[in-house]
Chain A
Amino acid sequence: MSVQTDTGRQATAAPTASAAPAIELRGISKAFGPVQANKDISISVAKGSIHGIIGENGAGKSTLMSILYGFYKADAGHILINGQEVHIADSQEAISAGIGMVFQHFKLVENFTVLENVILGAEDGGLLKPSLAKARKLLKQLSDEYELSVDPDALIEDLSVGHQQRVEILKALYRQADILILDEPTGVLTPAEADHLFRILKGLKEQGKTIILITHKLREIMEITDTVSVMRRGEMTATVKTHETSPEQLAELMVGRKVLLRVDKKPATPGKPVVEVENLRVIDEQGVERLKGISLEVREGEILGICGVAGNGQTELLEVLGGYVNGTGTVRMNGEEIDLSGKHSNGQTRRARGIAHVPEDRHDEGLILEFQAWENMVFGYHHAPEYQKNALLMDNAGIKAMTQASMDKFDVRPPNPKLEAKSFSGGNQQKIVLAREIERNPDLLLVGQPTRGVDIGAIEFIHQQIVALRDEGKAILLVSVELDEILSLSDRIVVMFDGQIMGERLPAETNEGELGLMMAGITDTNTNGEKAQ
């Protein structure tokens, strides 16, 4: 099962086929049980171009790419590579056809070295030694050629996310991929890392590689692609040349109606501080210091946005304030100090103090997917007196009625309290979590990634709810990796890097470029934001 040096493929790419698109899909359809994930999809991507595929969550982008990579078999349709029909039954055949894929969640073995990851599945024989030697040489060549430098002997778990992604690209190139598919590649990158990635992609394009970029970020599409296809509800709604379209038009094509890309809100009128954080530190189970002395405050009637690349302490900040990770330092809620040691506190005591929390990960934290909606609607508040029938039993009937009312108010569809959480769409799941947390009328709302994996229609609704809560005079601490979201929702912005605060900015006085630099840990001498503490 060594890698195939497919001379046949090289031949078809020769002059006669040069006019044929590198990759062409004709009438691809795929259903999962009753769900039609892809409906009669056709696209054609010219050799040496970058093609974007954009669409909301669940539009069917990933399914389409999985078919192309042999993960799923299409129910109908044809795939042509360089004008020749191919049948891709598994990943091995996709690799042989010259397709390389960089998944959103990297497919790397964490405790293997870069070299071991690169040769995995493409070894030259039964013994590892010669394969490793060969890969070391080739890796050197490739990294020089495409700005893809990484230490071949480093363990994956010691590499930054950006470097891990390079390993994924190197894996594809090592397997002589001519077509590279990247699924949401910038989600975990700093703007600087994303720029670097785009330079790499442009370099690859110049070498004649064909690139398909799957993303939900309109900006990236506009910046780097030559052509773009829009998917909606399993169908390909349009394919256009990038320079002939606009973000507004693409957004409309994605959602099927006009959308507001900016959030409508009045200027904030902050009141007294609700939460004051001083020198907050968190050390995780591995003994790594995740928060290195954070100080900030959030006042009544304001949204404090925390931006940063994932993994720089924002998660821990939410978790320690939410009461399920321990820390040291001082946190005062409405002037009273709260316990951070975990000895006298947990998520429930925090809620009793008026802290509500929409966690970053609704699947693993915010919801119990196997629980019905009504059971989820009291999750974390299940000790509250109003949900008890008597000393022993919970008031299940009352909770169901309350859930019904909340679902109607937050427009959760379908509004059925007895449905299991897993059967709702991402947006509706998030609305359930939001309804639960907002309806308890908290003084402070912690919100992590409120619109991750949420369709555009629900994003608008969720943003409106958060702004409405602010206008009621509540304090909101917002964590998001989406710079757009931070910029449009926040009244103040704090940038985190490596467990520390890099600085504070006002949304009107900053831009993505400056925030991006700060997120990468680059500070300018002018730290005017710090004094606002």
Chain B
Amino acid sequence: MNKMPKWADAVLIPLISILLAFFFSGLVIWAIGKDPVVAIKTMVQGAFGSTSGISYTLYYATNFIFTGLAVAVAYHARLFNIGGEGQAMLGGLGVTLVCLAIPWPHWTLALPAAMIGGALFGAGWAFIPAWLQAKRGSHIVITTIMFNYIGAALLGYLLTKVLKVKGSMLTESARFPEGAHLPNFSEIFAPIGINFSPNAPANMAFFVALLCTFAFWILIWKTRLGYEIRAYGQSETAAKYAGIAPARIVIIAMLISGALAGLMAINNVMGEAERLIDNAVEGAGFIGIAVALMGRNHPIGILLASILFGFLYQGGAELSFWESIPRELVVVIQALVIMFTGALDNMVRMPLEKLFVALNRKKEA
């Protein structure tokens, strides 16, 4: 007795929601006196028009895959983790500490170690809000937001007082050793005859992100833990009945979530900057929310949404350069995507449901 076919629910509704978000974004561009069509052309050109552009797009997309998966895994347990930003910041700290710890001989050794460092620190930063939610009932939305602020303060302190290179004016850590350098797309693809711009940032981390996407799918739909996470997310009372300990699921789901957010650092810190800089996350933790909502917390959806936001981010940079539209336009688009796909879902759904019921009636008649 479904009111709507499955494909409409899975594809049509998100698609319409995104189009609505883009329409209103276009209105904003128009309202500040710019031409939306020119803006889109600039963005497409900037994001896909060159190997450098593609590389940037995929570099940003890599960030968003990690943070999007992070939000999604928590969301399957009905936990709204807004702390991806802070967890990714701390992940950066973990990656930095690992990379600077020893003079790494080769990236194949440095990468797994850095992944562990980033994941541990990210998970660690998610642990306290998770524990407070599980044991004290503190609202995880507010505590994770607070931990973003606290994380920023902590990193600010470490960068100015502890990690800063003596004598340097810059609030950043020392450069990572040569052996911790991750191959970028130009180095990876040159042997098979594809030439990527050597200065563009997409790197090995992209493939780690793809791997995580696959692992996410296995975890959520094929394992007992995933089963328990989803069960808890749907009904806490039922989970208790089935012998699933709520506190355990809350903490584990948040640890995985924080770890995924922390893993982002192998892309932006290790793969791109090769040192820890101030505000390295650049809001990617928040974009993860939009990506997860838009991708319906499904790995394929998250992958596609990440690439879309990678495009927006890179295109947005081009916009600010060529059209002097501030990069915060991406934040506006992100907000509209969250609003339409997350909160105004019913606005699209209700008329569509009516439409399908009417169509079915006609068919029967």
Q: Contacts A368-B238, A371-B231 known; A35 to B222 CB distance under 8 Å?
A: no
Interface residues of B (CB under 8 A from A): 1-3, 218, 222-224, 227-228, 230-231, 234-235, 237-238, 240-245, 353, 357, 360-361
Q: How far is the CA of A516 from the CA of B235 in the complex (A)?
A: 35
A396 located at the interface, meaning its Cβ lies under 8 Å from any Cβ of chain B in the complex: yes
12 additional A-B pairs beyond A361-B237, A365-B238, beta carbons within 8 Å, are: A35-B1, A347-B242, A351-B243, A365-B235, A366-B238, A368-B230, A375-B227, A383-B224, A388-B224, A393-B222, A394-B222, A423-B1
Residues of B within 8 A of A394 (CB): 222-224, 227
Q: How far is the CA of A396 from the CA of B227 in the complex (A)?
A: 11
* Inter-subunit contact B243/A393 (CB<8 Å): no
* Inter-subunit contact A396/B234 (CB<8 Å): no
Within 8 Å by CB of B241, from A33, A34, A366, A369, lies A366
Q: How far is the CA of A361 from the CA of B245 in the complex (A)?
A: 19
* Inter-subunit contact A393/B238 (CB<8 Å): no
The listed residue with most A CB atoms (<10 A of its CB), out of B223, B231, B235, B241, is: B241
A52 located at the interface, meaning its Cβ lies under 8 Å from any Cβ of chain B in the complex: no
A14 located at the interface, meaning its Cβ lies under 8 Å from any Cβ of chain B in the complex: no
Residues of A within 8 A of B218 (CB): 392-393
* Inter-subunit contact B238/A382 (CB<8 Å): no
Q: Considering the complex, which residues of chain A in the window 496-532 have a beta carbon less than 8 Å from any beta carbon of chain B? A: none
Q: Contacts A371-B231, A393-B218, A423-B2 known; A34 to B357 CB distance under 8 Å?
A: yes
Residues of A within 8 A of B230 (CB): 368, 371
The listed residue with most A CB atoms (<10 A of its CB), out of B227, B230, B235, B238, is: B238
* Inter-subunit contact A365/B237 (CB<8 Å): yes
A450 located at the interface, meaning its Cβ lies under 8 Å from any Cβ of chain B in the complex: no
Residues of B within 8 A of A350 (CB): 243
Q: Contacts A34-B3, A34-B360, A346-B243 known; A364 to B224 CB distance under 8 Å?
A: no
Within 8 Å by CB of B242, from A34, A369, A379, A393, lies A379
A12 located at the interface, meaning its Cβ lies under 8 Å from any Cβ of chain B in the complex: no
Question: Whole-angstrom distance from the CB of A340 to the nearest CB of chain B?
Answer: 14
* Inter-subunit contact B243/A370 (CB<8 Å): no
A364-395: CB near B (< 8 Å → 1, else 0) gives: 11111111000100011011000010001110
* Inter-subunit contact B222/A33 (CB<8 Å): no
Residues of A within 8 A of B223 (CB): 392-394
Residue of B nearest to A365 (CB): B241
Within 8 Å by CB of A322, from B227, B238, B241, lies B241
Within 8 Å by CB of B235, from A33, A322, A323, A364, lies A364
Question: Whole-angstrom distance from the CB of B353 to the nearest CB of chain A?
Answer: 7
Q: How far is the CA of A253 from the CA of B277 in the complex (A)?
A: 78
A324 located at the interface, meaning its Cβ lies under 8 Å from any Cβ of chain B in the complex: yes
A420-464: CB near B (< 8 Å → 1, else 0) gives: 000100000000000000000000000000000000000000000
A488 located at the interface, meaning its Cβ lies under 8 Å from any Cβ of chain B in the complex: no
Within 8 Å by CB of B243, from A34, A324, A366, lies A324
A335-359: CB near B (< 8 Å → 1, else 0) gives: 0000000000011111100000101
Residues of B within 8 A of A393 (CB): 218, 222-223
A256-277: CB near B (< 8 Å → 1, else 0) gives: 0000000000000000000000
Question: Whole-angstrom distance from the CB of B231 to the nearest CB of chain A?
Answer: 5
Residues of A within 8 A of B243 (CB): 323-324, 346-351, 380
Within 8 Å by CB of B3, from A33, A357, A388, A392, lies A33
Residues of B within 8 A of A380 (CB): 241-243
Q: List 18 A-B contacts (CB under 8 A).
A: A34-B3, A35-B1, A346-B243, A347-B240, A347-B242, A347-B243, A351-B243, A365-B237, A365-B238, A367-B238, A371-B231, A380-B242, A380-B243, A382-B228, A393-B222, A394-B222, A394-B224, A423-B2
Question: Whole-angstrom distance from the CB of B216 to the nearest CB of chain A?
Answer: 14
Within 8 Å by CB of A359, from B241, B244, B353, lies B241
Residue of B nearest to A381 (CB): B242
Residue of B nearest to A368 (CB): B234
Q: How far is the CA of A375 from the CA of B3 in the complex (A)?
A: 22
Interface residues of A (CB under 8 A from B): 33-35, 322-324, 346-351, 357, 359, 361, 364-371, 375, 379-380, 382-383, 388, 392-394, 396, 423
Residue of A nearest to B240 (CB): A324
Residues of B within 8 A of A383 (CB): 224
Residue of A nearest to B243 (CB): A347
Residues of B within 8 A of A365 (CB): 235, 237-238, 240-241
Q: How far is the CA of A359 from the CA of B237 in the complex (A)?
A: 11
Residue of B nearest to A357 (CB): B241
* Inter-subunit contact B1/A34 (CB<8 Å): yes
Residues of B within 8 A of A346 (CB): 243-245
Within 8 Å by CB of A382, from B2, B3, B227, B357, lies B227
Residues of B within 8 A of A392 (CB): 218, 222-223
Residues of B within 8 A of A388 (CB): 224
Question: Whole-angstrom distance from the CB of A434 to the nearest CB of chain B?
Answer: 15
Residue of A nearest to B231 (CB): A368
Within 8 Å by CB of B357, from A33, A324, A367, lies A33
* Inter-subunit contact A371/B234 (CB<8 Å): yes
Residues of B within 8 A of A33 (CB): 1, 3, 353, 357
Q: How far is the CA of A375 from the CA of B234 in the complex (A)?
A: 13
Residues of B within 8 A of A34 (CB): 1, 3, 357, 360-361
Question: Whole-angstrom distance from the CB of A380 to the nearest CB of chain B?
Answer: 4
Residues of A within 8 A of B237 (CB): 361, 364-365
Q: How far is the CA of A369 from the CA of B244 in the complex (A)?
A: 17
Q: How far is the CA of A195 from the CA of B223 in the complex (A)?
A: 54
9 smallest CB-CB distances across A and B, nearest first, come from: A347-B243, A348-B243, A380-B242, A346-B243, A365-B241, A324-B240, A364-B237, A368-B234, A393-B222
Q: How far is the CA of A393 from the CA of B241 in the complex (A)?
A: 23
Residue of A nearest to B221 (CB): A396
Residues of B within 8 A of A369 (CB): 234-235
Residue of A nearest to B2 (CB): A423
Residues of B within 8 A of A382 (CB): 224, 227-228, 242
Residues of A within 8 A of B361 (CB): 34
* Inter-subunit contact A379/B238 (CB<8 Å): yes
Residues of A within 8 A of B227 (CB): 375, 382, 394
Residue of A nearest to B227 (CB): A382
Question: Whole-angstrom distance from the CB of A422 to the nearest CB of chain B?
Answer: 10
Residues of A within 8 A of B1 (CB): 33-35, 423
Residues of B within 8 A of A423 (CB): 1-2
Q: How far is the CA of A388 from the CA of B224 in the complex (A)?
A: 9
The listed residue with most B CB atoms (<10 A of its CB), out of A349, A364, A368, is: A368
* Inter-subunit contact A347/B241 (CB<8 Å): yes
